[in-house]
Amino acid sequence: MITRYTRVWLSALLLAALVAHVRASSGDRADMYQTCVLLCTKRVCADDAPHWSSLVSRLTRWTCADDCKYNCMHHLTDQALEQGTRVHQYYGKWPFWRFLGMQEPASVIFSIFNLLYHAKGYSEIRDRVPNGHPLKPYYLGFALVSINSWIWSAVFHTRDLPTTEKLDYFSAAASILFSFYATVIRLFHLYRDDRERLTRADPSTQIIRRLWTALCLVIFIAHISYLTLLPSFDYSYNMAFNLAFGMSHNLLWFLYSLPPAAHLVKRFPTRPRSYRPSYAYKPAMLVLLTTGAMTFELLDFSPWFRVIDAHALWHLATVPIAALWYEFLIEDSLDDGWRAYHH
């Protein structure tokens, strides 16, 4: 199950080699920018009057000082383009044109596309996977956690604030951890089984499942508590957390895709360990496709027309991949290896 979380852990592969995250960039450190912002705030914001701002800007919490930073950023970007010099980043971001208060409108729109595809995936799992299937609750939960994740991605790209940043990161971590949790449940057959005729319906499985669920809950609570209680957000730790669970998740699905001779996992409860369905290659293929889509993040170019950058294209690339994952999950759920649950 690959969701928006792959952006996080794959980005970590690149960012782990860099210095710790800082909010300052070459653009906002420049003397011309600092002078422009200072003069603007003195001239426009001195009386704290609301006349400078539209209703949309106020609803999306753009202050007068923020508006000065935005206008100075684009003024200096205009100059750089006219003179053919380098376009700078400001506060860790490229200069984007605002639209209806959205700080990065393309990323917002593409986040919403992902949200809609996960909502569609939720509906398809609800309608096509049999109600008695033991994995149906986990797959529905996966879709809901992913929907929540993309909601906060859209909010964060609308307005980058400390609160929206944390909600974006925490929801991404929840998506990563839940995907790993559900994958372990699926591949090691720890799901709840009310059918005593199946050999895996035993008390030890129930105990292991409960312990696994409790462990994941404790890990997530500890993760967000650590990041919340620190005086400053620990970006390096957050990336390491996402990387560890994301790579573990992908490794498990690669095991699923291995040829029959490997016999490392028993894919279905009523099939022999050697049984490998014709579509077993799909998880590995989807992991590779996602890694390939990561090349957009590697590019990291100045946004086209100050609207679409490499990160936005990465969001767009994950949309069809999410749709393909839901197709695989449904195909896997309908395999005859689950025949005891098909009713």
Q: Note the pLDDT of residue 192.
A: 83
Task: Decide if 92 is inside a domain.
Answer: no
Whether residue 88 contacts residue 31, with contact meaning beta carbons closer than 8 Å, is answered with no
Six token digits for residue 263? 């016999």
Q: What pLDDT, in 10s, does the model give residues 125-153? A: 999 999 989 999 999 999 999 999 999 99
Q: Residue 16: its pLDDT value, please? A: 41
Q: Which domain holds residue 128?
A: 5-21+102-341
Task: Give CB contacts under 8 A, 24+ apart, made by 296-301.
Answer: 297/7, 297/10, 297/11, 297/14, 298/14
Q: What is the pLDDT of residue 217?
A: 97
| Same-domain check for residues 158 and 251 | yes
Percentage of the chain surpassing pLDDT 90? 45
Tell whether 274 and 303 lie within a shared domain.
yes
For residue 201, give the nearest of 53, 340, 303 by alpha carbon. 340
Distance CA 306, CA 274 (A): 53
- Regions in the chain scoring below 50 on pLDDT: 5-6, 8-22, 196-200
Residue 319: predicted pLDDT: 94
**Residues 161 and 155: beta-carbon distance below 8 Å:** no
Per the domain annotation, does 90 fall within a domain? no
Residues 6+ apart with CB under 8 A from 280: 256, 257, 267
Number of domains in the chain: 2
Structure tokens, 340: 């005891």
* Shared domain check, 129 and 50: no
Would you say residue 49 lies in a domain?
yes
- 251 and 323 belong to one structural domain: yes
Q: Is residue 93 part of a domain?
A: no
Considering the domain architecture, whether residues 147 and 213 belong to the same structural domain is answered as: yes
174 and 111 co-located in one domain: yes
Regarding whether 252 and 124 lie in a shared domain, the answer is yes
The 8-class DSSP code of residue 267 comes to: -
**How far is 17 from 8, CA to CA, in rounded Å?**
15
Residues 238 and 269 in one domain: yes
Report pLDDT for 3: 54
- Residues 42 and 116 occupy one common structural domain: no
CATH assignment of the domain containing 315: 1.20.1070
In a domain, 269, yes or no: yes
Helices within 159-195 (DSSP H only): 162-187
Co-location of 48 and 123 in the same domain = no
Q: Is residue 304 helix, strand or coil?
A: strand
Same domain, 118 and 233: yes
pTM of the model: 0.84
